[in-house]
Chains A and B, each alone.
Chain A
Amino acid sequence: MGDLGDRVNVMGPQPMAKRSEIPAAMLEAARRVLEGLAAGDATGLAALAVPSGAGELAAVAAAVMPGTYDQHRIIATARINDHHYVKARLHGPRTEAFTVQFRLGEYAGEWRVWEAMNLTGKRGAWAR
């Protein structure tokens, strides 16, 4: 373990480990997924999913009305080992936000969607 850092002028211990970086390539993949959802690009989205996750991603895409959303924001990224859950909202000027959660993991050297779910309009911790 690393040392506790320079603690002369601070209250409490300094961080002993560096924050694990969120892979830039993962965030780029997330951006492509969100843009694909907003644009209703079913073909492009299919290419971003592993075979077992393609159906779920297509179901989420089917729930998005193309052209409705012009912005997106990632609100959570949570890891399970090397896979990352991304929770994000699509925003548009004339409608409520669309909330989506998907899991990204590497597959054949690229970041792909392993599962996806539509969390829009649901209550509680599973949904927000």
Chain B
Amino acid sequence: MQRMIPVERLAREDRMVLMRARKAREIREEQNLDDRVLPFDEEALRARMHGIFCGEVQAMEAAGRTLFDFPDAPWEFQLDMARQVWDESRHTEIFEGLLAYMGAEPGDYVETEVLWRCTQAADPAARVAGINRGLEGLACDVFEQLIRIAQKNGDEVIERAVDYVLADEITHVRMGSNWLRKLTEGDPERLKRAQEFQESIDEVFSFRGTRRAIEDVRDGNENIITIAREARMLAGFSEEEIERLIAASRKSAAY
């Protein structure tokens, strides 16, 4: 079995249409439909929910690939990755349920490859930095926003379901923080490379001002993903790291 599989080799059901995130964004911009905004537009919320469903599938695949790609990693590391596969598979089912709740099905919207593309690191330390701290950290941001939207809409189903998932994501980020430290103990160069890989992922998601500090969001604009300071602190992010994320979001061209 091949290690480090590229996105075009991910298996998908026929009903899924997978494409590059950049292309999907260009098609959205081409249509110039700015009036469809969260939190009140059902279609926008459905599309967001579908995006998260696809993200959970790719997160499950990513944790599984980490388990497979690094057979010589410590046994406890492998156990954590196996647990994460299980968690992500439950999340996939939860979001499939939320999609049905919203009147949609997997495949109703396109799936983009951006999360999988972010997993391609040959060192397990970089892999957990990128996936567990970068992508799962992003999940904390996205879910906190979704919970806030659900609260505004008075929707307890979405609010509670996403809150359960968020609790797992915090654990995954914490796992990443622990393994990043353990795997790079006594090797500052390796730590630096892993952190740089994570920062490159953080930059992808701060790009174009789509993620900001909550104090930088004007008029309660719920289309902007805010940095989940409290969840990230619970997950082992330092104040300095969070400030660095905020600074990166402020540097983005659209801000």
Q: A15-B103, A76-B17 are in contact. Are A85 and B9 (CB under 8 A)?
A: no
Residues A19 and B24 in contact, CB atoms below 8 Å apart: no
A75 touches B101 (CB 8 A): no
Tell me, rounded to whole Å, the shortest Cβ–Cβ distance linking A12 to chain B.
7
A125 and B12 in contact (CB under 8 A), knowing A1-B155, A20-B104, A101-B17? yes
The residue from B12, B103, B108 contacting A79, defined by CB atoms under 8 A apart:
B108
Q: Is A78's CB within 8 Å of the partner chain B?
A: yes
Given contacts A16-B102, A85-B17, A125-B11, contact A78 B108 (CB under 8 A): yes
Contact A79 B102 (CB under 8 A): no
Chain A residues whose CB sits within 8 angstroms of the CB of B103 once the complex forms: 15-20
A82 touches B31 (CB 8 A): yes
User: Would you call B18 an interface residue if the criterion is a C-beta within 8 Å of the partner chain's C-beta atoms?
Assistant: yes
CB <8 Å contact, A80 and B10: no
Q: Does chain A have a CB within 8 A of B22?
A: no
Q: Give the size range of B's interface with the partner.
A: 35 or more
Contact with A along B99-113 (1 / 0, CB 8 A): 011111101111101
B181 close to A (CB within 8 Å): no
A–B Cβ pairs within 8 angstroms, 23 of them:
A16-B102, A18-B103, A20-B43, A20-B46, A75-B15, A77-B107, A78-B107, A80-B27, A80-B28, A80-B31, A80-B110, A81-B27, A81-B28, A81-B33, A87-B17, A123-B8, A124-B8, A125-B7, A125-B16, A126-B8, A126-B19, A127-B8, A128-B11
| Further pairs besides A81-B33, A128-B11: 9, Cβ < 8 Å | A14-B101, A15-B101, A17-B42, A20-B46, A76-B14, A79-B108, A79-B109, A87-B17, A101-B17
* Shortest Cβ distance from residue A22 to the other chain B in the assembled complex, whole angstroms: 9
Specify the chain B residue showing the minimal Cβ separation from A20. B43
Contacts of B33 in A (CB 8 A): 81-82
Query: B200: CB under 8 A from chain A?
Result: no
Chain B residues with CB under 8 A of A4: 157
Cβ of B188: which chain A residues have Cβ within 8 Å of it? none
Number of A-B contacts (CB under 8 A): 99
Which 9 A-B residue pairings sit nearest by Cβ, starting from the closest? A78-B17, A17-B103, A124-B8, A125-B18, A125-B12, A75-B14, A19-B103, A125-B10, A124-B9
Chain B residue nearest to A80 in the complex (CB):
B27
Complex contact B100–A15 (CB within 8 A): yes
Query: What's the minimum C-beta distance from B103 to chain A, rounded to whole angstroms?
Result: 4
**Chain B residues near A14 (CB-CB < 8 A):** 101
Beta-carbon contact of A78 and B27 below 8 Å? no
Q: Mark B29-51, 1 if CB is under 8 A from A, else 0.
A: 00101001000001100110000
Distance of A103 Cα from B17 Cα, bound (Å):
11
A13 within 8 A of B: yes
Q: Is the CB of B107 within 8 A of A13?
A: no
Residue A83 is within 8 A (CB to CB) of chain B in the complex: yes
Q: Is A40 an interface residue (CB 8 A)?
A: no
Q: Mark out the residues of chain B between 83 and 108 whose CB falls within 8 Å of any chain A CB in the assembled complex.
A: 97, 100-105, 107-108
B11 and A83 within 8 A (CB): no
Interface: B238 (CB within 8 A)? no
Pick the contact of A128: B14, B42, B101, B104 (CB < 8 A).
Answer: B14
- Contact in complex: A85, B157 (CB < 8 Å): no
Contact indicator A80/B14 (Cβ below 8 Å): no
Query: Does B221 count as interface, using CB distance less than 8 angstroms?
Result: no
Choice from B42, B102, B109 contacting A80 with Cβ under 8 Å = B109
B15 nearest in chain A by CB position: A76
- Least CB separation from A86: chain B residue: B17
